[in-house]
């Protein structure tokens, strides 16, 4: 992952220098994701390509935006920095909480409406056990637009070939999609080769498996059939506006094989670049703990979330919005590593050797079935929490019993629990630096046998320093050296940690962190240390938009011709694809209505 050099000071400084940079004729053609802050670019004297609507990103926001605009009669070009379409969405579990009275809800006898969706997703009274409110900081204008377009977006997907494995909505998977009624649908994986494996889903489970391929491949086919043009491996580097911070948006700059191409947008540009989790210093504006070691981003290495859309938009005057939704501790913004021994440990995504990005992924990882089989230690070789601890919880259908929208009594049905594995893991080691550092899962040969783990390639990543082994605990600790391990692990610490834990197994009680009845000693060599550092998932803050998904500036005024949706847009706390798809649908429809210039 490329390390971004942009700082908070750069962002503030560049907001004031944007006009000066343009007046001096500066043209920045490198995004901050690869090391340079973006100033407002000078409008080019010539255009290499043009279309009515130019969409940045071929993912869950960009694809519906492109289709809707093209079907309405606009010409559309979609640019994407990757070699294939899909973005994070194609790697996802494709769980879609689109409600409001969809055809499938009606068929199942589920009574839902746009008004009910709106009330659900703006309910101040819903909180998690740690006090985090799922919906309190949602922008009501944005949620109203989502609620009104939720069912139409679902019918749009069905009309464009998306099918589902469940016959009626349920409440399984995802979070922050409403407590009142079931809305969650799960997309059939289809017959396409999966990006995770390079082969189609196994026939034995294909009828019940949900996967992002089944969402994005039908949409891609529809888009190509109606004449949407795709420019893959074209990375957006700038957005052009008439004035540095005034006038309408005119188009974008992209790079392809070292060549800069200027693409004119006669009507609009739609930002669907997917969020900011891959830009270290951008994400640290929301949470300073999120330093470089949190490198196992969900969706990587298939697609990054480099903040390029946000930074290019900010350079021409756009504002950020809904920042609390990024940092509040609910749902899947941050998750416990579900697989260990590899960089990309998100529990619901396993990269296999047949995947075209497997070399970048490095290993598939070891899926942990029972957290009793490992202990977790920090950089100093010390335990810090109960290994069976969970992620941040998030609201979903029927989570709160006897639920009444907007009632203060809802809180009485939530059991207070302020502690959490994620926060403990990110606490650090008291060296005065930010970031919790690497977290290592320690286990022995017996644990590997119980879990039926193969502690070798392709399952673990020894080459890149995400997995180590030793014949003794002291030898193991001495081997743990990699770029994110900023202090050496004292062998005596690890030996004492294991000795003490083994005594808890004998006693039947974890006197340090109350792990439920510790079961297994760590005693039989060889011994192993597997990367188990928390994973960053969602982006829940981004550009300020209105109900039409038009981007707005710091004065609350629309930036004419600029749209945004999904994880690059702020004001919406929902986890998953529904907000991306719906906002892409809204943006494409409205962008088409603009007058071409």
pLDDT digits (tens, 9 = 90+) for 124-136: 999 999 999 999 9
Average pLDDT, the chain: 92
Furthest-apart CA atoms within the chain: distance in Å = 77
> Which two three-digit tokens encode residue 338?
């579900």
Mean pLDDT, range 249-264, rounded to an integer: 97
Q: Is residue 561 part of a domain?
A: no
Q: Is residue 198 part of a domain?
A: no
Confidence at residue 13, expressed as pLDDT on a 0 to 100 scale: 39
Q: Is residue 512 part of a domain?
A: yes
- Structural domains of the chain, count: 1
Who contacts 380 (Cβ-Cβ below 8 Å, separation ≥6)? 429, 487, 489, 490, 493
Sign of CA dihedral 451, 455, 459, 461: positive
pLDDT greater than 70 at residue 492: yes
Q: Is residue 152 part of a domain?
A: no
Q: Could you count the other beta carbons within 10 Å of the beta carbon of residue 202?
A: 11
pLDDT band at 582 (very low <50, low <70, confident <90, very high): very high
Among all chains, which residue has been given the structure tokens 């399952």?
459
Question: pLDDT of 375-401, one tens digit each?
Answer: 999 999 999 999 999 999 999 999 998
Query: Which CATH number is 511's domain given?
Result: 3.90.700.10
> Which two three-digit tokens encode residue 390?
């969970």
Confidence at residue 411, expressed as pLDDT on a 0 to 100 scale: 85
Domain assignment of residue 520, given as a range:
337-389+440-531
Q: Is residue 444 part of a domain?
A: yes
**Closest by CA position to 366, among listed 469, 454, 249:** 454
Mean pLDDT, range 176-188, rounded to an integer: 95
Q: Is residue 508 part of a domain?
A: yes
pLDDT band at 420 (very low <50, low <70, confident <90, very high): confident
Confidence at residue 207, expressed as pLDDT on a 0 to 100 scale: 85
Q: Is residue 362 part of a domain?
A: yes
* Strand residue runs (E) in 41-94: 49-56, 76-80
Q: Is residue 375 part of a domain?
A: yes
pLDDT band at 69 (very low <50, low <70, confident <90, very high): very high
């Amino acid at each position: 992952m490329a390390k971004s050099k942009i700082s908070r000071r750069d962002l503030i400084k560049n907001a004031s220098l944007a006009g000066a940079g343009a007046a001096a004729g500066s043209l920045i053609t490198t995004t901050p994701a690869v090391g340079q802050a973006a100033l407002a670019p000078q409008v080019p004297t010539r255009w290499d390509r043009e279309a009515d609507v130019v969409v940045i990103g071929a993912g869950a926001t960009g694809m519906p935006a492109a289709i809707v605009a093209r079907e309405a009669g606009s010409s559309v070009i979609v640019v994407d920095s990757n070699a294939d379409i899909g973005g994070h969405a194609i790697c996802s579990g494709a769980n879609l909480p689109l409600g409001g009275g969809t055809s499938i809800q009606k068929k199942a006898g589920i009574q839902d409406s746009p008004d009910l969706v709106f009330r659900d997703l703006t309910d101040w009274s819903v909180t998690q056990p740690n006090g985090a409110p799922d919906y309190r900081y949602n922008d009501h204008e944005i949620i109203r637009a989502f609620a009104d377009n939720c069912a139409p977006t679902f019918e749009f997907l069905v009309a464009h070939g998306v099918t589902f494995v469940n016959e009626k909505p349920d409440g399984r998977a995802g979070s922050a999609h409403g407590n009142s009624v079931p809305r969650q649908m799960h997309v059939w994986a289809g017959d396409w080769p999966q990006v995770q494996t390079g082969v189609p889903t196994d026939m034995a489970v294909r009828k019940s498996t949900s996967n992002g391929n089944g969402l994005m491949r039908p949409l891609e086919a529809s888009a190509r059939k109606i004449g949407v043009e795709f420019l893959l491996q074209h990375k957006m580097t700038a957005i052009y506006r008439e004035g540095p911070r005034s006038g309408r948006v005119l188009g974008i700059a992209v790079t392809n094989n070292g060549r800069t191409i200027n693409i004119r947008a006669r009507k609009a540009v739609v930002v669907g670049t997917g969020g900011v989790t891959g830009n270290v210093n951008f994400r640290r504006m929301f949470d300073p703990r999120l330093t470089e070691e949190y490198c196992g981003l969900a969706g990587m290495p298939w697609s990054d979330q480099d903040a390029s859309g946000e930074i290019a938009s900010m350079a021409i005057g756009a504002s950020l919005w809904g920042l609390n939704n990024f940092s509040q501790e609910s749902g899947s913004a941050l998750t416990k590593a579900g697989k260990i021994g590899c960089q990309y440990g998100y529990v619901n995504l396993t990269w296999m050797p047949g995947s075209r990005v497997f070399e970048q992924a490095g290993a598939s990882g070891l899926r942990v079935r029972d957290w009793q089989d490992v202990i977790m230690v920090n950089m100093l070789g010390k335990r810090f929490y109960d290994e069976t601890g969970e992620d941040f919880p998030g609201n979903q259908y029927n989570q709160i019993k006897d639920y009444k929208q907007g009632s203060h009594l809802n809180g009485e049905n939530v059991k207070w629990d302020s502690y959490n594995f994620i926060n403990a893991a990110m606490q650090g080691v008291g060296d005065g630096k930010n970031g919790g550092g690497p977290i290592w899962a320690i286990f022995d040969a017996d644990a590997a046998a119980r879990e039926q783990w193969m502690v070798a390639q392709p399952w673990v990543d020894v080459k890149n320093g995400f997995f180590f082994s030793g014949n003794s605990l002291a030898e193991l600790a001495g081997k743990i050296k990699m770029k994110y391990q900023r202090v050496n692990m004292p062998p005596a610490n690890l030996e004492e940690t294991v000795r003490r834990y083994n005594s808890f197994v004998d006693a039947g009680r974890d006197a340090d962190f109350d792990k439920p009845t510790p079961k297994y000693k760590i005693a039989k060599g060889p011994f192993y240390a597997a990367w188990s550092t928390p994973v960053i998932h969602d982006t829940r803050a981004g550009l300020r938009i209105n109900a039409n998904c038009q981007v707005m500036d710091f004065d609350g005024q629309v930036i004419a011709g600029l749209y945004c949706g999904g994880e690059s847009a702020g004001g919406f706390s929902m986890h998953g694809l529904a907000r991306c798809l719906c906002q892409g649908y809204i943006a494409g429809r409205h962008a088409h209505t603009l007058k071409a210039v």
